[in-house]
Amino acid sequence: MLNRLKAIYVVVEFVITVAVIILLMKVFNKNNKYFRNKWAKLQKYLIGYSIKEVGTPDPEAKLLLLNHQSLMDIVVLEDVYPADIAWVAKKEIADIPFFGQILSVPHMITIDRESKASLVKLFKDAKDRLNKGRVVAIFPEGTRGRGDKILKFKAGSKLLAEKLGLKIQPIVIVGSRKVLDSQNLTCQSGEIKIIYLPSIDPKDDKDWYEKLYQDMKETLAKETKLT
């Protein structure tokens, strides 16, 4: 019961603080990364969780591939990652009245999963953000999992990396769904772990995508057994 009440509190808090951040980013657009970072850091105190980083971000990596289980996956990476991230998100989020501007104002990348032209748009938008010094982040599973295993990867991430010749850093996030489960509407304090795995250059191995999937899968399986 308390976990559900806390989740309702977090939903209300998100509505209020995200609205404020959207307005601040609209007014001070050149500093939108600053406001996103400060908002993400604030969540640690408003929700009550800690972040543990294992490994280090690769400054040469231009594409981040992460497992997805909770909205907190985005929040914690916005908190700690040093570069300006351009998230790849589904178009339905951008279509939400007013709050969809959380993607459009900071120039995130949106894709329409029902459109055959979405892949072309992804390539074009990703190239644009990279040329502006940003790092692209995508959830290759294409949807949220339960947090105990990694779902099958979609092909889009592989095609993007190979098309643009991007160095990739896989990241495994552990425990974010335990902190905030938006599907079951529960929230509790805890630790969220961010594990930076070794970077990969697609040119070095034609089977890189499958090996990356297995590495992330095994890492998450090992971590969930420990918790």
Fold of 2-226: Glycerol-3-phosphate (1)-acyltransferase (3.40.1130)
Higher pLDDT, 117 or 224: 224
Q: What would the two tokens of residue 147 be?
A: 């947090």
For the chain, what are the domain ranges? Answer: 2-226
pLDDT in tens, 66-105: 999 999 999 999 999 999 999 999 999 999 999 999 999 9
Long-range contacts of 124-133 (CB under 8 A, 24+ apart): 125/86, 126/86, 126/88, 126/160, 126/164, 127/164, 129/86, 130/62, 130/164, 130/166, 133/83, 133/84
Whole-model pTM: value is: 0.94
Contacts of 128 (CB under 8 A, 6+ apart): none
Phi, then psi, of 123 in degrees rounded to 5: -60, -45
Q: pLDDT digit string (tens) for 146-200?
A: 878 899 999 999 999 999 999 999 999 999 999 999 888 999 999 999 999 999 9
